[in-house]
Structure 1
Amino acid sequence: MKEVGQRLKSLREGIKLSQVKMAGILGVQQSAINRFETGKSTPSAETLIKYADYFDVSLDYIFARTDRPQGKEYRYEPKLLKEKTDQNEQIREFVEMCFDPKSPVSEKLKAILIRLMMEEQK
């Protein structure tokens, strides 16, 4: 379990979280975080799932079965990227509703408007 502890510590330190803040996020005591990271105790399955969800990594990664955070079967999709994709789709749908599909000028105007609205979000 030492490898698991090292992974948990590197994930936490990678985003500069203290053990106290991590404990608050997971709903455990700071001393438990310390024991997990030093390999002195093993987190429960529920706690490991919370780690995986919070850091958006697979359990394969936490268990050091792979060095890829997305794991073997996991499709990595960061929340921010998903939100951006969803927003872009909403913009496209909105613009489609604003134009007459029979107008020959509509396609060019739609493309320009979509591009401008997406740039505005950046």
Structure 2
Amino acid sequence: MKQVGNQLRTLRHSLSLSQAKLAELLGITQSSLNRYENGQSTPTVELFRKYADFFDVSMDYIFARCDEPQGKLYHYQPKVWKNAAEMEQFVEMCFDPKSPYYNRMKESVLRMFLENTDD
């Protein structure tokens, strides 16, 4: 929590706010804010959200997971897409085989899958 406390302190300093003023703005006591910044106590999830909103930063930044205020951006790829056989099985379950468009839809989805796995 020491690292998180340092991030919270850095954010406060970035706007030249005193602990008392920021505590007032966040609706907490100055002594609580001091404990958070010194890593002696952990803020609630709601308070973390208030920090993120107030300073317009991501939770990644607050938790010192990155140095960029907007946070890390992830390329999400469901695990089922990592295996072509599993993906084909998944697509089979998604469409009605009696549909006149079944083969076209299946081929389109599988083609998109193959395009995404080339990255």
Q: TM-score range by the shorter chain?
A: 0.5 to 0.7
Cα RMSD after superposing both structures:
1.2
Structure 2 unmatched ranges of 5 or more: 75-119
Residue 43 of structure 1 deviates from its aligned partner by 0.3
Residue 63 of structure 1 deviates from its aligned partner by 0.2
SS in 2 for 1:16: coil
In structure 1, the partner of 2:8 is 8
Residue 73 of structure 1 deviates from its aligned partner by 3.5
TM-score of the two chains, using structure 1 as the length reference:
0.59
Structure 1 unmatched ranges of 5 or more: 75-122
Deviations 1:1-57 (CA, angstroms, capped at 9, x unpaired): 100000000000111000001101110000001000000000000000000000000
Within 5 Å, which residues of 2 pair with 1:25-40?
25-40=25-40
Deviations 1:72-103 (CA, angstroms, capped at 9, x unpaired): 139xxxxxxxxxxxxxxxxxxxxxxxxxxxxx
Moved over 2 A (4+): none
Distance of 1:73 and 1:48 partners within structure 2: 19
Identity %: 59
In structure 2, the partner of 1:100 is none
